[in-house]
């Protein structure tokens, strides 16, 4: 760790390199960026920092990347403020008594009249079904629900405690209670009991075999069963195209036209580097890219490399320059000077917004429109992911990544599973292990299991500057020597949020209508972060709401936005295609595949090589 002193100021280049100063290594290094002229390096303290990092990385292996200090501080903050709040304690005692009385009344009514009336427990998807309305299972479900409600009261509304700490404690209490849900245990789940009776316990035998198979695959780091049926280039990611650019971080795929004429404005898709791009090019029937090409657009898509330790020093700026900036240069060489429709998904949308704001600042208007798919530009309401974003958590996460040079796929998958443990852990355990059933692998499930890593520097910068500090939304994010601002973007924007998104909550995505001064068409669609975006025409039970805010129109908050939006049944893709066509010119002949004379000769056929990297 570096020592700060004002006794012998000297140029920072003499003390540490520019790359070290910019590298997100510690709170001290952040201080160095702010006061570079008062830096003097103490080698002994630098060695001490390396030792601390190694210790933190070792700790992170046993805690799943969670900071024990952060969890302890949250619990202490909650417990101390609760202990010093006699009114809150009295209210909790009163609530507990009333809930016991309510449970007693439910039990008495059930035993007296034998009623099978559906109680509040049936609102929970874990307790749906006729069997849960029978005794004694109905009482188990009701009792569990009342316990959950009391703990929610106990971990919220504690005056004086940090809101962040309260949310973390409430989340931890919910995770702990979920373990004891009667739906998770064979002796208290009526569906499991009935299946065991009907099948002579064959379901448990199958479930045990499923559990052993999963454990073996997890230990050997093998993919889930059935994933081999969905190989990129064979059954998924089969839209014809060519890789026309390859650099250290990405391959740029140009897709071949399927129509005689195309709109002159090409489409550039920037997916998130946290995922493999073929979420947007799954099977032919639900491939967004294939549908875009069929609608008469020239489509380019970035396929990010799955980084390794050699890419540890690639930061946000490297991803911007070797991603959308390099792609735009290639597209201009191939298609000419026509404006580009930029499309960004998740973190790719954030990166696209950064480049669009940079262009707006510098008078470089290469984007004719922007489409942001479940992408955030303001992170103050970024959902439960924010529970794991504070200085303590980031320090442990940085040190864990520092050791390897990247964030491992298992650590990322574990974080998302924790956020949706009821759906991704407990319900799967019941279905696969207690009922002995397997859900057949589909293309979306296979893609979800095809995880990626993230470089140390990029992920640390992203979490620190965008998530924790919210620099982009608040005008502090710098490219070069000057900051950029979302409000400088004047290209029309089409933004999509999904109703049940746990990664980018739709109210957070909706903030683009507040930050941007351009025309914004906002769509709220059914589904989650992935299934809501992969919403092809003909998909059952899909609907969306849509409304456009003009450049000078007043802001409408998310709570009242629904009153101004028009609801439609079906896929939002068709509305988006119409919107893109409205902001495009008259169709022309398709451009050539690549531009060999300008240095963009096709390298190989789609889906390229980076998407196949393990």
- pLDDT score of 14: 32
Residues in the chain: 614
- pLDDT score of 8: 32
Highest mean pLDDT among 61-75, 107-121, 445-459, 574-588: 574-588
527: confidence class by pLDDT, cuts 50, 70, 90: very high
Average pLDDT, integer, range 319-336: 97
Alpha carbon distances (Å) from 319 to 2, 3, 327, 486: 28, 31, 11, 19
Structure tokens at 305: 């490399």
Alpha carbon distances (Å) from 414 to 71, 339, 410, 449, 545: 17, 40, 6, 12, 32
Question: Omega of the bond prior to 612 within 30 degrees of 0, cis?
Answer: no
Enumerate residues 6+ apart whose C-beta is below 8 A from 325: 355
Average pLDDT, integer, range 130-152: 91
Question: Omega of the bond prior to 24 within 30 degrees of 0, cis?
Answer: no
Structure tokens at 449: 């299991």
What are the pLDDT digits (tens) for 503-526?
899 999 999 999 999 999 999 999
Higher-confidence residue: 415 or 484?
484
Report whether pLDDT(222) > 90: no
- pLDDT score of 416: 62
Helix (H/G/I), strand (E/B), else coil: 257: coil
Alpha carbon distances (Å) from 471 to 130, 158, 208, 468: 51, 30, 49, 8
Report whether pLDDT(24) > 60: no
Report whether pLDDT(26) > 90: no
Report whether pLDDT(289) > 70: yes
- pLDDT score of 454: 86
* Contact of 270 with 349, CB cutoff 8 Å: yes
- Which alpha helices (DSSP H) does 200-297 contain, by range? 202-220, 288-294
d(CA 154, CA 169): 10
Report whether pLDDT(276) > 80: yes
Nearest to 185, CA basis, from 141, 120, 149, 142:
141
What are the pLDDT digits (tens) for 165-176?
999 999 999 999
End-to-end, the C-alpha distance of the chain in Å comes to 35
d(CA 106, CA 117): 10
What are the pLDDT digits (tens) for 199-208?
999 999 999 9
- pLDDT score of 436: 94
Look over the chain and give the mean of its residue pLDDT values, rounded to a whole number.
87
Average pLDDT, integer, range 362-376: 95
Structure tokens at 333: 């060489």
19: confidence class by pLDDT, cuts 50, 70, 90: very low
28: confidence class by pLDDT, cuts 50, 70, 90: very low
43-52, 78-87, 146-155, range with the lowest pLDDT: 43-52
Structure tokens at 458: 């990029």
Report whether pLDDT(44) > 80: no
d(CA 420, CA 442): 20
* Contact of 570 with 300, CB cutoff 8 Å: no
Nearest to 577, CA basis, from 526, 535, 519, 531:
535
Structure tokens at 608: 């390229």
DSSP state of 270: E
Cα angle 226, 228, 232 (rounded to 5 degrees) comes to 130
Residue 346 appears among annotated catalytic residues: yes
Q: What percent of the chain has pLDDT over 90?
A: 64
Higher-confidence residue: 413 or 6?
413
* Contact of 345 with 370, CB cutoff 8 Å: no
Higher-confidence residue: 494 or 405?
494
d(CA 285, CA 316): 34
Report whether pLDDT(30) > 70: no
Report whether pLDDT(343) > 70: yes
141 phi and psi, to 5 degrees? -65, -45
Q: With 0-12 CB in 10 A as exposed, 13-18 as middle and 19+ as buried, what is 361? A: middle
* Contact of 35 with 70, CB cutoff 8 Å: no
DSSP state of 539: -
Enumerate residues 6+ apart whose C-beta is below 8 A from 590: 257, 259, 260, 261, 262, 298
73 phi and psi, to 5 degrees? -65, -40
122: confidence class by pLDDT, cuts 50, 70, 90: low
What are the pLDDT digits (tens) for 490-503?
999 999 999 999 88
Nearest to 543, CA basis, from 523, 561, 526:
526
Enumerate residues 6+ apart whose C-beta is below 8 A from 365: 339, 359, 491
Correct CATH for 241-380+470-612 of 1.10.540.10, 3.40.50.1820, 3.40.1160.10, 3.40.50.970: 3.40.50.1820
Alpha carbon distances (Å) from 211 to 30, 133, 149, 218, 492: 46, 30, 32, 10, 50
Q: With 0-12 CB in 10 A as exposed, 13-18 as middle and 19+ as buried, what is 323? A: buried
d(CA 492, CA 370): 6
Average pLDDT, integer, range 481-496: 96
Choosing from 301, 314, 335, 346, the catalytic residue is 346
Average pLDDT, integer, range 59-86: 88
* Contact of 576 with 295, CB cutoff 8 Å: no
406 phi and psi, to 5 degrees? -160, 165
Question: Omega of the bond prior to 607 within 30 degrees of 0, cis?
Answer: yes
Give counts: helices (H), strands (E), the chain. 24, 17
Q: What percent of the chain has pLDDT over 70?
A: 88
Nearest to 172, CA basis, from 149, 147, 151:
151
76-85, 325-334, 359-368, 406-415, range with the lowest pLDDT: 406-415
Q: What is the pTM of this model?
A: 0.87
297 phi and psi, to 5 degrees? -120, 145
- pLDDT score of 224: 87
d(CA 11, CA 208): 64
* Contact of 150 with 174, CB cutoff 8 Å: no
């Amino acid at each position: 760790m570096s020592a700060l002193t004002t006794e012998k100021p000297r140029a920072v280049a003499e003390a540490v390199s520019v790359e070290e100063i910019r590298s997100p290594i510690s709170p001290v290094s952040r201080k160095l960026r702010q006061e570079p002229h008062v830096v003097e390096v103490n080698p002994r303290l630098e060695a001490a920092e390396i030792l601390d990092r190694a210790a933190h990385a070792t700790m992170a292996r046993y805690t799943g990347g969670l900071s024990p200090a952060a969890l302890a501080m949250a619990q202490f903050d909650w417990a101390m403020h609760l202990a010093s709040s006699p009114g809150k304690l009295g209210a909790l005692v009163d609530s507990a008594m009333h809930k016991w009385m309510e449970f007693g009344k439910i039990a008495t009514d059930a035993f007296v009249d034998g009623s099978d009336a559906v109680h509040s427990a049936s609102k929970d998807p874990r307790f749906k079904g006729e069997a849960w309305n029978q005794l004694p299972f109905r009482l188990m479900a009701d009792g569990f629900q009342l316990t959950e409600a009391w703990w929610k009261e106990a971990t919220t509304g504690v005056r004086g405690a940090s809101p962040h700490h309260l949310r973390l404690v409430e989340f931890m209490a919910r995770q702990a209670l979920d373990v004891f849900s009667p739906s998770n245990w064979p002796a208290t789940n009526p569906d499991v009991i009935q299946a065991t009776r009907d099948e002579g316990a064959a379901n448990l035998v199958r479930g045990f075999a499923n559990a052993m198979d999963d454990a073996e695959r997890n230990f050997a780091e093998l993919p889930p069963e059935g994933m081999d049926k969905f190989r990129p280039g064979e059954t998924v990611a089969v839209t014809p195209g060519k890789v026309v650019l390859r650099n250290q971080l990405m391959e740029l795929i140009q897709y071949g036209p399927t129509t005689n004429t195309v709109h002159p404005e090409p489409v550039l898709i920037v997916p998130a580097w946290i995922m493999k791009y073929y979420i947007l090019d799954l099977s032919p029937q639900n491939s967004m890219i294939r549908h875009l090409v069929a609608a008469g657009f020239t489509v380019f898509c970035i396929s990010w490399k799955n980084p390794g330790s050699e890419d540890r020093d690639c930061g946000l700026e490297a991803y911007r320059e070797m991603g959308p900036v390099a792609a735009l240069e290639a597209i201009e060489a191939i298609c000419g000077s026509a404006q580009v429709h930029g499309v960004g998904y998740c973190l790719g949308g954030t990166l696209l917004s950064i480049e669009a704001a940079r262009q707006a600042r510098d008078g470089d208007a290469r984007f004719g429109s922007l489409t942001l798919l479940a992408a955030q530009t303001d992170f103050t309401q970024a959902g439960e992911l924010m529970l794991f974003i504070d200085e303590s958590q980031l320090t442990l996460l940085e040190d864990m990544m520092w050791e390897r040079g990247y964030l491992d796929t298992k650590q990322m998958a574990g974080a998302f599973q924790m956020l949706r443990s009821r759906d991704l852990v407990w319900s799967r355990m019941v279905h696969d292990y207690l009922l002995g059933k397997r859900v057949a692998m589909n293309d979306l499930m296979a893609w979800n299991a095809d995880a990626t890593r993230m470089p140390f520097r990029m992920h640390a910068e992203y979490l620190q500057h965008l998530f924790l500090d919210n620099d982009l939304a608040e005008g502090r994010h710098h490219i070069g020597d000057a900051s950029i601002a979302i409000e400088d973007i004047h290209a029309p924007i089409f933004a999509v949020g999904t109703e049940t998104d746990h990664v980018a909550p739709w109210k957070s995505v909706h903030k683009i209508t507040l930050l941007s001064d351009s025309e914004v068409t906002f769509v709220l669609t059914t589904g989650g972060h992935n299934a809501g975006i992969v919403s092809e025409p003909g998909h059952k039970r899909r609907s969306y709401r849509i409304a456009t805010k003009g450049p000078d129109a007043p802001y409408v908050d998310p709570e009242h936005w629904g009153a101004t939006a028009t609801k439609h049944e079906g896929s939002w893709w068709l509305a988006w295609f119409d919107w893109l066509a409205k902001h495009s010119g008259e169709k022309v002949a398709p451009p050539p595949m690549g531009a060999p004379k300008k240095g963009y000769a096709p390298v190989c056929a789609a889906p390229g090589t980076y998407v196949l990297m393990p």
